[in-house]
């Protein structure tokens, strides 16, 4: 019989150290020495105060920038920034997640400078597989140069949410079932740069950078990443993953976002008819709708028995009657797989507006399965126990 040897104190300590290292990698916070590398600027990017503060500067010779040591595949990222004060026209402070390659993914905050007394423009964009063109721009409801403010990116498998001081300003949802690409496969680093873009940044390039005001300086502190960190071909997530991985906007957060968009949004690509004369991108039609994905934990067990309807053979047309809590709909599923419902009759305590909620049906003909993606707009509803579907092959 082989002798049993208890593990040494040193080996136990090594295991604990490795576990702590993985945990710290997935939940990074605080120190710029530990979390970032200065990659550009020839001394214009400085880490100060023992790693608690980082500053970028721009002069006529060069700007500056830094990047995270870690790469992330989903996470919740926070950073406090204080932007270039005074006459910042022509300057851009960029703060963004990005992958590499020609078909890169990217999630952008960009702060476009302006003349003294004129507001900054916060520019947001989402790139997927190298394609962006999803710009939304906002004024801020405070002076972003007077003090530090928190700018956050929530990125999970269902949505991307841009927030300022905890207030959501934009949500980009995963609508892959409608053919809209979504960043989900490429790991991304966090980057930030301060650079000159006076050919477009301020009033479309009409206002140029006043170099007599240089050097321009932006400051950073209180970085926090509760994220899945990519390492050695695998993703390591923090123990707090479930707090953000399934996070969605509740009623109060949706109200805050609506307030920002109604009062401070200055450009929305989904409203630019000159840019899209043939019709808006698909995601614009569904931008204000909150879909309950089959992958969401909220889908189960409540809808577990009703998540799919199977047919014995391929279909071209199906008339399906679904009973909701207060409304009855008849839905025509055509070859394109996505249709809007028509209300047939109201049931229960009275009629409810059609736009209170919408059901989108996606048909996967190769598998003969109809997936139900449900939207709940402040109204709880439950599918009836029987779908009462009839197959009509025409």
Active site residues: 106, 110
Distance of CA 200 to the CA centre of its chain: 25
Distance of CA 174 to the CA centre of its chain: 9
- Helix ranges, the chain (H): 9-26, 32-35, 241-245, 251-264, 282-285
* Alpha-carbon distances of 169 from 27, 92, 123, 281, rounded to whole Å: 25, 20, 11, 20
Dihedral sign for Cα 19, 23, 25, 26, please.
positive
Contact 316, 335 (CB under 8 A): yes
Nearest alpha-carbon partner for 146 in 200, 61, 219: 219
Contact 67, 39 (CB under 8 A): yes
Contact 114, 89 (CB under 8 A): yes
Count CB neighbours of 48 within 10 A: 12
């Amino acid at each position: 019989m082989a002798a049993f040897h208890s593990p040494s104190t040193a080996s136990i300590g090594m295991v604990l150290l490795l576990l702590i290292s993985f945990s710290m990698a997935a939940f990074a916070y605080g120190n710029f020495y530990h979390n970032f590398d200065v990659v550009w600027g020839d001394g214009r990017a400085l880490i100060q105060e023992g790693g608690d503060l980082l500053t970028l500067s721009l002069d006529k010779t060069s700007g500056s920038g830094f990047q995270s040591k870690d790469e992330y595949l989903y996470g919740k990222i926070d950073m406090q920034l204080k932007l270039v004060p005074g006459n910042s026209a022509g300057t851009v402070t960029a703060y963004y997640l990005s992958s590499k390659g020609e078909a890169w993914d990217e999630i952008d905050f960009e702060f476009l400078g302006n003349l003294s007394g004129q507001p900054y423009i916060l520019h947001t964009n989402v790139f997927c597989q190298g394609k962006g063109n999803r710009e939304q721009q906002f004024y801020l409801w405070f002076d972003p140069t007077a003090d530090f403010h928190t700018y956050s990116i929530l990125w999970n498998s269902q949505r991307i949410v841009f927030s300022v001081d905890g207030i959501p300003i934009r949500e980009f949802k995963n609508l892959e079932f409608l053919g809209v690409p979504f960043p989900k496969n490429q790991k991304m680093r966090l980057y930030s740069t301060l650079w000159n873009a006076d050919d477009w940044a301020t009033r479309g390039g009409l206002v140029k950078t006043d170099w007599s005001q240089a050097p321009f300086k932006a400051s950073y502190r209180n970085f926090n990443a509760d994220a899945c960190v990519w390492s050695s071909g695998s993703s390591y997530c923090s123990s707090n993953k479930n707090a953000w991985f399934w996070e969605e906007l509740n009623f109060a957060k949706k109200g805050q976002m609506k307030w920002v968009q109604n009062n401070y949004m200055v450009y929305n690509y989904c409203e630019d008819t000159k840019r899209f004369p043939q019709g808006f991108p698909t995601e614009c039609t569904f931008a204000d709708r909150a879909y309950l994905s089959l992958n969401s934990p909220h889908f189960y067990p409540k809808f577990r028995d009703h998540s799919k309807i199977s047919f014995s053979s391929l279909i071209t047309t199906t008339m399906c009657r679904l009973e909701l809590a207060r409304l009855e709909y008849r839905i025509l599923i055509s070859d394109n797989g996505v249709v809007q419902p028509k209300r047939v009759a109201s049931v229960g305590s009275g009629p409810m507006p059609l736009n209170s909620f919408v059901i989108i049906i996606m048909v996967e003909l190769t598998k003969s399965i109809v997936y139900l993606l449900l939207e709940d707009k402040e109204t709880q509803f439950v599918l009836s126990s029987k779908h009462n579907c009839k197959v009509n092959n025409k």
